Amino acid sequence: MKELIKRVVETYGPSGSEECIRDLIKQEITPYVDEVQVDALGNLIAIKRGGGKKLMLASHMDEIGVMVTHIDENGFLRFYSVGGLSPFSLIGNRCYFANGTVGVFGMEKLDEIKDLSMKKIFIDIGVDSREEALKKVSLGDTAAIKREFNDLGNRLVSKAMDNRVSCAVLIEALKQVQNPVYDIYAVFTTQEEVGLRGARVATFGITPDVGIAIDVTRTGDTPKSATMDVCLGKGPTVKVRDSSVLCTPAVRRHMEQVAKANGIPYQLEVLEAGGTDAGAIQLTKSGIPAGVMSIPCRYVHTASEMVDYRDVEQGVRLIVKLMETDYQG
C-alpha cells in the first residue's frame, strides 16, 4: 500500500484541477466497483452494490496550491493561495504546474521576518521577461507544491498527505471489502480545500442515508504543540467536532462500536479549527447523519506532511468494517 500512497501523493491536483489525480484513482478502483461516474464538479463517484441503504464515503482528492494572478516585466509571478497556506512554509520550496513548469518561492527584502505575508512572496520560474514567462504559464494557472514522498519506516512524509493518504485508504478499502451491507458510494471529492464544494453537490445527487468523510487531522504530539489529544501511531480518529461540523452522535457511537468490536485502535478527535467534507454532507437537503474518520497528520498544509503507516492500515480496517456493519441510527 505504500506504493499506492506514493503515487497518489506525488500526482498533480490542486483544487479545481483534479483531472490527473482523478484519472489515477479511477484506474485503481474500476475493477473493484460496479459503476463509476464523474459529475459536473469533477467528483469521482464509485458505486459498489450491496443492497439496502446508501452509505456515502467521501475523501477529497484535491490538494492545496497557488494560482497565478500577475506576471511582472521580469517574469516573476505573483499568486493567490488555493486553500490554506502559510507564507512561512513556502520560502525556498518549489511548486510545479500541470505542464511541468517548476518555480521557486522567493521573498522580497524584509526588515523583520514577522512582516512576511503572501504579498511579499513571488515565484521564480527561471526566465528573464514577461514574454518568456507567458510561454510557460498564464494568468489563472494553478501550481502544486513540489516535494517527493519519503518512507521513514512507520512514518511517511510527503506533500499532499492531506488528503491523498485518505484517498489511498478508501481505494484499499474498496479492494478489500467482501460483504458490504449497503450500496456503497465512494466519492473522491473536488474543491474541499476551497469550501467543501464537491461534497456539497455530490451529496445532493446521492442523498445517502448516512455519510462518513475520510480526512486527515492535526496532532498534539510535537514539542510545545497546540493542546490536542491526538498522536501518531495510536490509530485513526473518530471525530467529535471541527469548525464545519458537530458529528451526528449516533454515527460517532456507531463508529466507536465497530472499532471496539473488531479490535481496531482509535482516538477521539476534537479539532478546534479546520473543516471536512462532513460539514457539507450533514447540511444537505433536510440533513444527513454524518461522521468522520481521520488519519493523524503532523505539519498539515506544508510541503512535508507526516503520517504513521500503522494508523493508515488500521484506518483501512475500520472503513472496511463500517461498510460491512449496518448503521441503525
- As annotated, the active-site residues are 192
Task: Assess contact for 59 and 312: CB atoms under 8 A.
Answer: no
Task: Give the residue among 172, 138, 184 at the shortest CA–CA distance from 45.
Answer: 184
Residue matched to cell numbers 514567462:
133
* Cα–Cα distance for residue pair 205/45, rounded to 1 Å: 11
CA-based torsion, 90, 14, 191, 312: positive or negative: negative
Q: Could you tell me the CA-to-CA distances from 84 to 14, 118, 181 in Å, in that order? A: 12, 11, 37
- State how far the alpha carbon of 137 is from the alpha carbons of 83, 87, 119, 242, 307, in Å: 20, 22, 20, 37, 33
Is residue 276 packed enough to be buried (19+ CB in 10 Å), middle (13-18) or exposed (0-12)?
buried
